[in-house]
Structure 1
Amino acid sequence: MSYITIDQVTKRYENQVVLNHISLTLQKGEFATLLGQSGCGKSTLLRSIAGLEEVDRGRILVDQRDITHLSPRHREVGMVFQSYALFPNMTVFDNIAYGLKMKKQRNIKSRVQNMIDMVDLTGKEGSYPHQLSGGQQQRVALARALVMEPKVLLLDEPLSALDAKIRKNLQRELKRIQRELEITTIFVTHDQEEAMTLSDKIFIMNEGNIVQSGSPSEIYTSPVNTFVAKFIGNYNVLNVEVFNKLIRSPELTGNEVAIRPEVLQLTPVEQETIPLQDNWTVKGVIRDISMTGNVLRYEVETDGSILHVDSLHHQGGKLDQGSPIRILIPKKECIVL
């Protein structure tokens, strides 16, 4: 049975529908990500689960308990914000202990110290927020939410203000902590790589709707429409008629065809090709080359269309801008949308 159920949740601001009959389920201990562009409704859905937004229709259940109209403090939900929201006049220890003290809990000192150790802030108990780095402040905010032992942890783009190296380190730490505590987690981000790294399940949102859900692998390899293909994997997306003209064969039917840039291969025009029963081949010219880390992205113009091709960067393997080239397109990697 599902641990979290969002059932036909709708939210409007004046005449604008922000959440359009949203439904989803999560199992206990899953790490789920709401992924989408700014304004798609993902943070509104998170805030609705936390009780910070009142929904117009639908139900929200946690562990078979209807929390739709409960106040935030009665939902047993912990939330971490992008802005940290720490008390500047309190130490690390007191920030983490604040919720426990308000609820007059027992064993506060040991519970807070255990959480400080878990988020790797040992020795910082007496420090104030202004004495901490951004990454350390976010660890305090995470510990403050987790020390209350919530049934659900909600994370609203908590890493977006951090630099790339700290962000990747915290991604690993966040996943480790989540697995160790086996806490059901819902994470909001617009960063596709972050979603792929952290998630057991991804829900892609667009204009208040969930347009696709599944594991990172399912989302990446099997986009259901053009929006997902362009958003999640930097796919090449071509009109089917244009693609059939490109390969000089009316082989595909449908609206559009999507091809991941890393499955395409570039070979010099004079090099012998792989058998055509497995691939289509088209000729083109390299118009631009860009490098992102260890990946080279080639922009190839071919018969009026542009295809992007990704390949690993290695010594002596780089092709030149302006070079005539042949592109091998594996037939099994072409997804008709």
Structure 2
Amino acid sequence: MKQNISIQNQSNNCLNFSIMKTVYLLFPLFFLSPVILLPCSASPNSQLSLPAAIRNTDKQSPELLQLKKLLDDGDIIPFYQAADKMLKEARRYHKKNVTPRELADGLFLCHLITTAPFIDLNKSSNVEWLANYNNIDHKVKEFMSRSIPFAALTDKNVKLPGKEEALRFYLTATAMVLKQFHSQMDYAFEATQICTYMIIDHASGLSTDKATDLFNKTSAQSSRNYDIQSIIKNQESGFIRELMKCFPAKAVEVKKYLHMAGYEDREIPALLNRTVGRVPQAEYLYRSLPKRRD
């Protein structure tokens, strides 16, 4: 027992040393330039092939074309506000007797949300907006699935043109969004936060306005980091279950989409353990993984 406590203390000391080492390495750089760049909002990889149902974008509804224009013009917050409203009205997509037109609308909305960038926290106006409202970009991407009639696409008795292609498009989009959330997660944020507060408290020549701006950015990122942690947990669980429903005996297909989401083979066992566990329905996934060499 004493040995275990000693090992734990050594581990904690190593963690504290690592954080402080990061602080003292970064601190001089921050004095030279008191600007902290937060996770970039660069447009996600848009290599998401359009299914046949929506390749002719000119035939989309005026509402969806207006949404596309907001995205094309870089009006990101208005885009997410409009997309959020449309998702709230998307219950009609969840019925099994969805029409081809409704399916096309849902797919196009899904495509726009997937390819939209996150709100850029390096713009002070965006930080101020988020302080008064919420992480609407996170919310819209998290609930993107509301635009897709998943029950209809997975029901063998439902006849829809291009159903298989639409389903694979949705799974690819979901994998891309999950990967986007992972890319926004700052796993070294604790060290960044310590550095920021040291700058605010001790940096000479830092104006009140710049200090306030820096504090607000860090606070916003802290909130978003916690938000992303929760979203990833929920997204992982839902995605694994959807993949198992779509491919109940095809582990290769499941792994293909998990790879799209950024998971390596060595990470998949832990992913399965924290989502579905070793239930009989998931056994085929565990069997497909390479044996561990301890």
Compare relative contact order (CA 8 Å, sep 6+) and give the higher one, 1 or 2.
2
**Structure with greater strand percent:** 1
TM, length-normalised to structure 1: 0.24
State which structure, 1 or 2, has the greater radius of gyration over its C-alpha atoms.
1
TM, length-normalised to structure 2: 0.27
**Structure with greater helix percent:** 2
